[in-house]
Structure formats: C-alpha cells, structure tokens
Chain A
Amino acid sequence: MLQVKNLSCERANRVLFRNLSFELNRGDALRILGLNGSGKTTLLRILAGLYQEFEGDVKWGREQYPLYIGHRRGLKALMSARENLLWSAAINGQGARLAEVDEALRQVSMGSYLDIACGSMSEGQCGRVNLARLVLLHNKVWILDEPFNAIDSDGIQWLLERIKKHLFLGGILVLSSHMEVPLNNLEELELR
C-alpha cells in the first residue's frame, strides 16, 4: 500500500508539483503522464526512494522494496544476461537458482543469449533482459519509467500481459508512459 500526502518538489527553481496526495492499494495501477521535463522521472524516483529532496510524506506499507526500472538500465555490460539476473536476485535478497534465471530469460525470448555479455546486445535485447527481471523477482511493487520505450511490439504485448498478471496477484504498479496503457482500472496523473 502506498500513501502520498502533500508531496511537493522543486528542481532548478521550478516547481514540479505541489501538495500531491494519493493512495494506492494492492492491485492498483497508476500512470504518470506529462511533457518532457514535467517531473515524471523525479516523481517515480521519489516513490522508489531514490530522490530525497522533497517535502511531504511518502509512506509504503509492507512492501518496502520496489522493483524500479528507470532510464539507466541497471545491467552491467561486462556481465552476461545470466550473471546480471543472478546479481539482481541476490541484491534483492532473493536466492535464485540458475534454472529459474534461465527460465525467466526464456520467457522473454532470450533463451539463446544466456551467456552473452549485455554489452554485446542491442538496445532491444537489453530491454528484454530487464523484463526478465520482472519474471524472476518477487517484488510486489513495480515502478517503471517509460518501460515501453526500448522494446518492440511483441515485447509490449508481453509486458502488458505480465502487468495484468502482476496486478491480479495483488501487486502495485506505478509507471510513466508516453503512450496509452490499455489497462482496466488504471488511474492517471498528469503533471503540468
């Protein structure tokens, strides 16, 4: 559960948002939209707990550790897809066996790239490795910044299905997206 009360943030002398309040419960999804530079990424980072220069309250319930995928990929170029995912699981306090990692990669059609270094992959392929994290990790909260950007249309479909499953199982989703997100029950928040 997420409770945001009177959230205000200013960057470079510009007010991004003032006195923002909302609440998200299990199964809720929130889409943040707005022009470039309107503060979408900042808001997502505040919710994730990365950005701390704000006023107001951001309170997470029991789900303290969000899965955040932002502009920076979060994958090491010198490590293979497998190694990156094993590390992701480890840093999340989640022991993952090789079989699970391989299965996650197969589900995003990266089954033949298990041992390829992420630095040798294309943008789209790295994007898929990131999506494999959504399969592998058990975090209840997903915070995704423009997740549909670096993937192809097949990937977009796959991600939408995955999101629906996540919400159905009681997860929470906050994302920013330029394009429309065809989900039922989606709340939208526009930043000006």
Chain B
Amino acid sequence: MNILLLTVQRDLLLYVRQPGDIFNPLAFSLLVISLFPLGLGPSSDTLNEISAGIIWVAALLTTLFSIDLMFKEDYEDGTLEQMILGKESLLLVVYGKIIAQWLVGGLVITLLSPLFGLMFYVNTDGIVATVLALMLATPTMTLIGSIGAALTLGVNKGGVLITILILPLYLPLLILGVAMIDTASAGENYTGHALWLAAILAISIGFAPLATEQGIRISLSE
C-alpha cells in the first residue's frame, strides 16, 4: 500500500515540475468547448440541447490527450523497467499512476464542469448531475485509457493510436453520462444512470489495471 502512495506522490511531484503536461490538455478542452457557441450561435436553446454531449466529448478527448504521458517518460528514461524489476508490486505502481493522472486530469475537469455548464445554460439540476457523472466517469476514462497507453508504449505516433483503440470502449460512458445529464436537466430521477456509471467504475477499478500491467510488461518485452 505504501508504494501506491509513494507512486502518487512521485507522479504528482513530476507533474508539478512540468506543469505544461497538465495545462495543455485542459486548455484544449476549454478551447474546444468555447468553439461551439462561437460556431453555432449563442441561442440558448441550441446550446442547451447539445451541452451534455459537448462537455462529455471534451472530457473524453482531454483524458485521451493526456493519457499517453502516463507511462511514456518513464518508459523512455528507463524508470518503468525498474518498476517491473523492483520487489514492489508493479500493479500497485500502476494504480498509483492512474490515481495521480486522474487527480491532475479528470478531477480538474470535473471541478471545472460547472463553469462549462454555465456556458451552455445548463440548469442547476443538470450541473449537479454533470459534476456527479464526471466524478464517476473520469476515473473510468483514466483506467481504461491506461490500457491503451500501456499497449502503445514505444510506438511512434502513440497518441493517435491510443485514441483509435480506446474511443470505442468509451462509448458506454458517453451514452450513460449524457443521458444522466439530460435526465437531470429535465428534472427527473437519474439514480439509475449514476448506479450504472458506478458499476462500470467498480468493474474498471478491479480489472483495468490488470490489463495495463500486462500491457506494460508486454510493451517492455522488446
């Protein structure tokens, strides 16, 4: 357990020392979200209708753009193979890295989402649901994305490749999340949606890091 916390600490330290890694994807999502009102016109009805979808797609893309950094540097400077060889469990290290990545990525998007909601005239119920939905879904995005990051280590255009591999797997999150926000905005009960997101999160927590760990060992076997 200790190594997990140490890993989170280490990765956060590294992110803080190179903040561009955090800011760039976030700036990207802010930009993408802002493009839509500019492109579609400021009519509150239009924006409201597409709001959930846009916020969600922006969250997905932002996660994808930062995910390939999770292992890449450690792979290139050789610290990743040291983690494989070390006595401490690689699986715990993987969990630690995923947590750290989520803290500087998914969590920040979740906290910024009310702002996005306001930009799109989402009502209060909708905004609450948006935060809750993202809170449940962004860890899952990081968990599943980490599998793609692990499998594409050492590949040249890894970033684009990860997107191709992982986006289909994000579809249920997209569908559930948007449905949850829309349902909330209409004033209806969205507990079911939230429970489904929580279930997917639970499954991902249990299984995704296993695949990621294998993926790391496989990618380093070269």
Contact = CB atoms under 8 A, between A and B. Distances in A.
Task: Determine direct contact between A and B, CB below 8 Å.
Answer: yes
A77 interface: yes
Contacts of A65: 85-87
Given A50-B220, A50-B221, A68 B77 contact: no
Interface string A69-111: 0111111111100010001101111100000000000000000
B93 A91 contact: yes
A93 B88 contact: yes
Interface string A93-136: 11000000000000000000000000000000000000000000
Interface stretch (B10-18, B47-55, B121-129, B173-181): B10-18
Contacts of A51: 221-222
Nearest to B14: A78
Contact of A52 (B3, B17, B73, B221): B221
A65 B222 CA distance: 20
A190 B155 CA distance: 32
A154 interface: no
Contacts of B217: 52
A53 interface: yes
Nearest to A77: B77
Contacts of A77: 77
Interface in B78-106: 78-79, 81-88, 93
B108 interface: no
B188 interface: no
Q: Is the interface of B mostly helix, strand, loop or mixed?
A: helix
B31 interface: no
A76 B77 contact: yes
A53 B93 contact: no
Contact of A75 (B6, B13, B79, B221): B79
B82 A88 contact: yes
A50 B84 contact: yes
Contact residues on A (Cβ < 8 Å of other chain), bracket: 20 to 34
Contacts of B17: 78
Contacts of B93: 91
A109 to B, nearest CB: 22
A91 B76 contact: no
A68 B85 contact: yes
A183 to B, nearest CB: 24
A52 B93 CA distance: 21
B77 A91 contact: no
Contacts of A72: 76-78, 81
A51 B220 CA distance: 7
Nearest to A51: B221
A87 B18 contact: no
Contacts of A79: 13-14
Given A50-B220, A78-B18, A91 B78 contact: no
A39 interface: no
B222 A91 contact: no
Nearest to A68: B85
Interface string A38-79: 000000000011111100000000000111101111111111
6 contacts: A50-B220, A72-B76, A76-B77, A87-B79, A90-B88, A94-B87
